[in-house]
Amino acid sequence: MKVALLQINPIVGDLYGNAAKIKEFANKAKGADLIVTSELALLGYPPRDLLLYPDFIAAAWESLQILAKDTKSLPPILVGTATFNKIKNGRPLFNCAAFLKDGKIREIFLKSLLPTYDVFDEDRYFESGSGLRILKYKDKRIGVSICEDLWNDRDFWQRPRYHFDPIETLAREKVDFIINLSSSPFTIDKQKLRESMISISAKKYKIPIVYVNQVGGDDDLIFDGASLVFDNQGKLLARAKSFDEDVIVVDLNSKSTAINDYLDNKEELIFKALSVGLNDYLKKCGFEKALIGISGGIDSAIVATIASQSLGCKNVIGVLMPSPYTSAQSMTDAQRLAKNLGIKIVTLEIASLMKNYDKALDNAFKGFKKDITEENIQARIRGNLLMALSNKYEALVLSTGNKSELTVGYTTLYGDLTGGLAVIGDLSKTQVYKSAKWINREGELIPKSIIEKAPSAELRPNQKDQDSLPPYDVLDKILSLYIEKHEGPKQIVSKGFDKDLVKRVLSMVAGAEFKRRQSPPTLKVTSRAFGSGWRMPIAARTF
């Protein structure tokens, strides 16, 4: 049997637009016997609280019926969608795959395992489906599974999350092959995990597995596509393009392969993922241009580079806002960066604005020494100017803070946290430097002096980040253990870190939670990012 994998980039909520795209790509599936989309492809993933509106689901069903009629002349299609739970008990919806054939919706296959970890919260909306999910078509018994249904092999995971393995159940029913409709967000190294997991399952059960993944950016999530087909020996037969829409048709009875490359360089992979996430975020939110506060520092340089290559240099505006503490070197670096990238730069001096603030607050601040308050005012002046330009130019402001700063609160609310999207908010400072070196692998795009100078916010004379923070190579190791590995203070100290330093760092992390709640959406590339998957309390004590 020839199966077509439709790897598309849907827009959340655009039911009729997504249906039109499914039809468009289904028409490209020449010679296929069966066509398959990704999970919830008709709705876009993740639809989140749109699922709370019955009218939305009713409209989805209507668009599905239209799609069935519009594709009547095409091979049957398994479409990822949602349907009402007509049983009185349980959640109101099912996450499902609808089988469209001869102009009608013929069957519905329900998702069994509902993830409620990290960015997932499916138990909020969906009821777990029960019963066998076997599609009988063309003398074949086809096992139908949806995303998480594939992720519970007890021989692969040390501690399976669920008590039930849908794939094992389908294998017992002697299906000819298994299809998995998926919307699996990108993180670094996840593709290796997927391929290993699917290969092991296919080989163990001696059943081919077809895995169709979504592609594109939706809010804080990035989907890398790279849909897969493994034969009954666990051998990779096909891999769709990564980070791009694609249609591949695979003959499950043939040994021929169609394997697209998947990026194996970490820095290149991150750059590509962030570029896709940024581009889709702007387009799906209705923006064409981006604004970036260019400081002459490493973080804004990385964001400007990603933006210029993702959106095109004509759609990126750099804003240089020097204060009396901005060094001549930083001014030069910012201007050189803008020239190298080919982006427009706007310069707004803020010294006079700082004086006006000082004058307005003079009486209220009488008797107080200058401190971080004045530094924050500088940052907030810049934030206000960026937002004014954003309104006037109809351009989205991109926040330039990195994960290290966001984690310990080395940021200013309504200042450098200003923006509609945090592009590198899931990259540690050390990873930012690695990315800069990769960007310059073939020539100096980011001025060398930006990479080599000590990082500084330049909010006071001779300020350096290390005046307030531990060295980034030490700080980032502690933060990674705590944030991404979920290790507590005792575990971290046992790895050789100073007890007082660990206590200080984790106290900073806890104290900055209120800031993170107000920061822009952050593009997720690691296993734990600040966004929809981060749910720490604000009013809490450290442990």
Q: What is the pTM of this model?
A: 0.95
369-384 per-residue burial string, b: 16 or more CB within 10 A, e: under 16 = eeeeebbbbbbbbbbe
Question: 166 is written with which tokens?
Answer: 């849908």
Query: What is residue 251's three-state secondary structure?
Result: strand
Instruction: Please confirm whether the linkage preceding 46 is cis (ω < 30° from 0).
Output: yes
Task: Supply the DSSP symbol for 48.
Answer: G
CB 9 within 8 A of CB 280: yes
Angstrom distances, CA of residue 148 to CA of 39, 114, 133, 142, 187: 10, 7, 14, 18, 16
Select from 176, 63, 165, 72 the least CA-distant residue to 113.
165
Which residue among the candidates 21, 39, 96, 375 is catalytic per the annotation?
39
Beta bridge partners of 222: 217
* Residue 525: half-sphere exposure toward Cβ, Cα within 13 Å: 26
Query: What is residue 289's three-state secondary structure?
Result: strand
In whole angstroms, what is the distance from residue 516 CA to residue 425 CA? 10
Mean pLDDT, consecutive 10-residue segments, the chain of 543 residues?
Answer: 97 97 96 97 97 97 97 97 92 97 97 95 94 92 97 90 93 96 96 96 97 97 98 97 98 92 96 98 97 96 97 97 93 96 96 96 94 93 97 97 95 94 97 97 94 82 81 95 95 96 95 94 96 91 78
Angstrom distances, CA of residue 327 to CA of 194, 419, 436, 469: 48, 24, 21, 21
Instruction: Return the number of other C-beta atoms located less than 10 Å from residue 390's C-beta.
Output: 21
Which residue among the candidates 21, 101, 111, 289 is catalytic per the annotation?
111
State the alpha helices, DSSP H only, in 227-350.
266-285, 298-311, 328-341
Q: What is the pLDDT of residue 542?
A: 77
Q: What is the pLDDT of residue 339?
A: 96
The one-letter amino acid at 66: I
Question: 54 is written with which tokens?
Answer: 């019955």
Q: What is the pLDDT of residue 291?
A: 97
Question: 294 is written with which tokens?
Answer: 């260019």
Helix axes 429-439, 472-483, angle to 10 degrees: 110
* Residue 101: half-sphere exposure toward Cβ, Cα within 13 Å: 13
* Residue 137: half-sphere exposure toward Cβ, Cα within 13 Å: 24
CB 275 within 8 A of CB 244: no
147 annotated active-site: yes
Q: Which CATH superfamily is domain 2-255 in?
A: Carbon-nitrogen hydrolase (3.60.110.10)
The one-letter amino acid at 220: D
Question: 275 is written with which tokens?
Answer: 């570029």
Which residue among the candidates 101, 147, 241, 524 is catalytic per the annotation?
147
Which DSSP string do the residues of 371-403 spell out, in sequence order?
-HHHHHHHHHHHHHHHHHHHHHHTEEEEE---H
In whole angstroms, what is the distance from residue 203 CA to residue 212 CA? 19
Instruction: Return the number of other C-beta atoms located less than 10 Å from residue 210's C-beta.
Output: 29
Q: Which CATH superfamily is domain 279-516 in?
A: HUPs (3.40.50.620)
Per the rule left: phi > 0, alpha: psi between -120 and 50, beta: everything else, 446 is: beta
72 annotated active-site: no
In whole angstroms, what is the distance from residue 304 CA to residue 198 CA? 38
In whole angstroms, what is the distance from residue 465 CA to residue 543 CA? 26
Angstrom distances, CA of residue 234 to CA of 58, 198, 201, 209: 40, 8, 7, 9
CB 318 within 8 A of CB 343: yes
Instruction: Tell me phi and psi for residue 457, to 5 degrees.
Output: -80, -15
Q: Domain-by-domain residue ranges, the chain?
A: 2-255, 279-516
